[in-house]
Amino acid sequence: MGALPWAFAKAIWLCVSIGASLWAVMALARMAQRWTLAVSAFLLAFAPLHTGIMEGQPCVLVCALIVISIVTPQPYIAGLLLGIAVCIKPQLALGFCFLALALNQGRKLIAACTTGLVLSGALAMILLGVALEFGQKLVPGRGFEVRDMFINGFGVLTGIAIGILGRRIVPAVSSS
């Protein structure tokens, strides 16, 4: 999102944060069956939520992802959401990984750790591509190009997508 114009990137960030927050509020309200309206009103009127959204704080999205991961019954989806939360703001979300460990939710914990490792590895590869572009200025006949950094990052994301899809396709082909 850093390559997007500020107003557009902020609009995307706010939409994602507000959408995740509303999803979390709905999930918590559903849990409080008799008090759905009261719980929803309280959570939507919660001042730190308004301030966080207004300031564009990542803690709003992280807290929403944590709540959704707690109420999601599918362990792999819950782990994916928790892993994303840990990557964005580990000081808030890491304790919930320990909670999953204490509650013996192994699949959720494995999915969270795998998500964290994949996202961290992708970021490391993207940063390596950026570093290589800066290093090319030191090689005679080579130059620095911003477009190459974007292409390197796109290559990392494409490689991850092919790896994920390849794992699903190869077992299907080999079994038939």
Predicted confidence pLDDT, tens digits, the chain (176 residues): 666 788 888 888 889 988 988 888 888 777 777 777 777 777 777 778 778 888 888 888 998 999 999 888 899 999 999 999 998 888 988 888 888 889 899 899 899 988 888 888 888 888 887 888 888 888 888 777 778 878 877 887 788 778 777 777 766 555 55
* HSE (side-chain half, CA atoms, 13 Å) at 34: 0
| pLDDT at res. 65 | 92
Residues contacting residue 8 through CB under 8 Å, at least 6 positions apart: none
What's the predicted TM-score (pTM) here?
0.69
The backbone torsions φ and ψ at residue 57, rounded to the nearest 5 degrees and listed phi first, read -70, 135
Q: What is the pLDDT of residue 79?
A: 92
C-beta separation of 84 from 92 below 8 A: no
Confidence at residue 129, expressed as pLDDT on a 0 to 100 scale: 78
